Chains A and B, each alone.
Chain A
């Protein structure tokens, strides 16, 4: 069973702080990793993807991947109240037959307090 684990939170940070969201995965052969943001009542929105070890930065967002530790994280700098949402970690595990499907964690609810 391919698993993706996230701290469900809620995680609460003050406006302007750094929010750190963490995710671990069980399938060592996983190749692609994604972070989605989901506002209440809305569908998930892709905000970051990462495929290689190290950091990947996009604006206020930084994704970090450590395949040896099977760990992926998302840092949100200068957090804003509009960042308040549930953040879903998703992993594309290696599967026989080559089907491309994502396994999602349960999500971490982030609240940024003004």
Chain B
């Protein structure tokens, strides 16, 4: 399965600032996914990032708040903009390197606290 490096692993940020989370995969993948897991909750998909095209956002998530870059087939970034305490969550990137054959792999996650 793919190995995903995600950083930072955690951060404490002031409200109104932005944080960029990086996700690096050890193999080329078509799609990368960004999820949010709020405290005590399950995972909610934020957006799907394809290389060379605009990310596709799920209902309730907008590009101005969560801009995503996907410059190549092994790397993506998610920015959490103009943060508020409600953005305190774990953010996870995920890939499906085998197109449904072996399942999805997650990065180690970024634990974000906004104060």
Using an 8 Å CB-CB cutoff, how does the interface string of A12-32 with B read, 1 for contact, 0 for none? Answer: 000000000000000000011
**Cβ–Cβ contact B43 & A104, under 8 A:** yes
Interface residues in A47-68 by Cβ distance below 8 A to B read 49
- For chain B, the count of residues having a C-beta within 8 Å of the partner chain is 25
Residues of chain A lying within 8 A (CB to CB) of residue B102:
49
Residues of chain A lying within 8 A (CB to CB) of residue B92:
43-44
Give the docked Cα–Cα distance between A41 and B27 (Å). 26
**Cβ–Cβ contact A34 & B41, under 8 A:** no
Using an 8 Å CB-CB cutoff, how does the interface string of A85-114 with B read, 1 for contact, 0 for none? Answer: 000101010000001111111110000000
Interface residues on A, range: 20 to 34
Which among B42, B45, B90, B92 has the greatest number of chain A C-beta atoms within 10 A?
B42
Known: A43-B92, A100-B31. A105 touches B42 (CB 8 A): yes
**Cβ–Cβ contact A92 & B100, under 8 A:** yes
**Cβ–Cβ contact A99 & B42, under 8 A:** no
**Cβ–Cβ contact B106 & A31, under 8 A:** no
**Cβ–Cβ contact A104 & B42, under 8 A:** yes
Known: A43-B107, A100-B31, A101-B48. A32 touches B100 (CB 8 A): yes
Residues of chain B lying within 8 A (CB to CB) of residue A41:
111
Interface residues in B55-99 by Cβ distance below 8 A to A read 56, 90, 92, 94, 96, 99
Give the docked Cα–Cα distance between A78 and B96 (Å). 31
Residues of chain B lying within 8 A (CB to CB) of residue A100:
31, 96, 99-100
**Cβ–Cβ contact A102 & B99, under 8 A:** no
Residues of chain B lying within 8 A (CB to CB) of residue A31:
100
Using an 8 Å CB-CB cutoff, how does the interface string of B20-62 with A read, 1 for contact, 0 for none? Answer: 0000000000010100000001111100100000001000000
Residues of chain B lying within 8 A (CB to CB) of residue A42:
108-109
**Cβ–Cβ contact B42 & A46, under 8 A:** no
The residue on A at minimum CB distance from B99 is A100
Give the docked Cα–Cα distance between A103 and B44 (Å). 8
Residues of chain B lying within 8 A (CB to CB) of residue A49:
102-103
Kindly state whether residue B14 has any CB partner on chain A within 8 Å: no
**Cβ–Cβ contact B103 & A34, under 8 A:** yes
Expressed in whole angstroms, the minimum distance between the Cβ of B14 and any Cβ of chain A is: 23
